Amino acid sequence: MERGLERTNLALRLADIFRSLTSQRLDVAFKTTHEIQRSKADKVVAIEMFHVKSYEETYMLDKSYPTTVRIFHV
């Protein structure tokens, strides 16, 4: 039960970081969040969130030409 609470709190913190920061500050926030650095699964989620945020910012700069970017991790 306690582990589930920790995951929920981390998810809420990540969502807060994701919504409020630009991509440069987002990268720094992910690197300084200890829970992310300790867990490979959390790192993967954080990286994917970063990709989505970067794509969103790019789209907001140029809405006239939507592009699809596919990112594959090996």
Which residues fall within 8 angstroms of residue 38, CB to CB, at 6 or more apart?
none
Instruction: Output the six-digit token pair for 13.
Output: 């913190």
Residue 73 pLDDT level (bands cut at 50, 70, 90): low
Whether the CB-CB separation of 64 and 32 falls below 8 Å is answered with no
Q: Which domain holds residue 18?
A: 2-61
Q: How far apart are CA 70 and CA 42, in angstroms?
A: 20
Note whether residue 6 is domain-resident: yes
* 3-61 pLDDT per residue, tens: 566 766 777 776 776 676 666 677 677 777 777 778 788 778 777 777 777 777 777 77
What pTM value is reported for the model? 0.46
Note whether residue 53 is domain-resident: yes
Instruction: Indicate the Cα dihedral angle 47, 52, 53, 58, nearest 10°.
Output: 130
Residue 66 has pLDDT above 60, yes or no: no
Q: What's the number of domains the chain is made of?
A: 1
Note whether residue 73 is domain-resident: no
Residue 43 is predicted with a pLDDT of 78
